[in-house]
Amino acid sequence: MRLALILLAADLFYLALIWPDWKTVAAGPVPKSNFIREYEERRAGDRSMPRLQWQAVPLARIPRHVVRAVILAEDARFYQHSGFDLVAFKEAMNYNLNEGRFAFGASTISQQTVKNVFLSSARNPLRKWHELILTWGMEQHLTKRRILELYLNVAEFGPGVYGVQAAARAYWGRDVSTLSLDQAVELAASLPSPARHNPATRTPQFEKRARKIYGRLLRYPGEAADIVSRELAPPVEDEPAGVRSAEPAERMPPDTI
């Protein structure tokens, strides 16, 4: 019991040390993620690895169909939950039990953002615990708009390719603002396993996932797109773009992305 209390105190002390300055995270430039730093360190010891490609861009420069494709692919209830999707977690557990193996996860965009920006690529219960605590903190202080901006700028889209701008340059030689719907779908299809399945490798798994995402996008035309437009509208001028308002934002209805 005493040892458990000591370990708990040590972990709380560690969390206090790594606890972000949320005001800076909300309003400052997109930070270089820990995953990007890890990649730089690995490449320093192995120059055969692809060079790092990363350039942050504001959310306003990213087409809305890119945002919609990523949300549908990674976290369809992003605007409904507060960092944790219990429905998706239950679905994932049922699927994994039926498959007899861990084949499907349920991390939200918020959780993935925390993992990428603040934590390491290590896979262990302690890191997962830190991810949950930091996700709670981020959702209390940052708007959904800012969380999306962070995620889209630090997510991995291929070996050494981080963020949608670098991905647009690497795969199509163009600015992210000019990406077509098909290219947006291909970016979203890369996210689960970007090192293996991406627009350059075009594996069968990648093609299958891209078709699935494209089909889902076609199921949500018209008014659903207007809802995303409202969510991504420029913030009120007297309120910092990334800071959460005291009043809760309107949540997106189920499956209307």
pLDDT score of 84: 80
Backbone angles phi, psi at 63, to 5 degrees: -55, 145
Per-residue pLDDT band at 229 (split at 50, 70, 90): low
CATH topology of domain 54-231: Penicillin binding protein transpeptidase fold (1.10.3810)
Per-domain residue ranges of the chain = 54-231
The reported pLDDT for the residue numbered 124 is 82
> 212 is written with which tokens?
């699935």
Percent of the chain with pLDDT over 70: 78
**Res 125: pLDDT:** 86
Specify the higher pLDDT residue, 100 or 246.
100
Mean pLDDT of 148-175: 98
The torsion angle over the Cα atoms of residues 198, 200, 206 and 208, rounded to 10 degrees, is: 140
Of the candidate ranges 4-13, 22-31, 42-51, 123-132, the one whose mean pLDDT is the lowest: 4-13
pLDDT tens for each residue of 103-119: 455 689 999 999 999 98
29-52 mean pLDDT:
95
**Quick check: 99 pLDDT over 50?**
yes
Assess whether pLDDT exceeds 50 at residue 194. Answer: yes
**3-class SS of residue 86:** helix
Phi then psi dihedrals of residue 51, to 5 deg: -65, 155
Q: Can you give the pLDDT at residue 53? A: 98
pTM: 0.81
Return the pLDDT at 98: 65
| pLDDT score at 222 | 45
Residue 202 confidence (pLDDT) above 80: yes
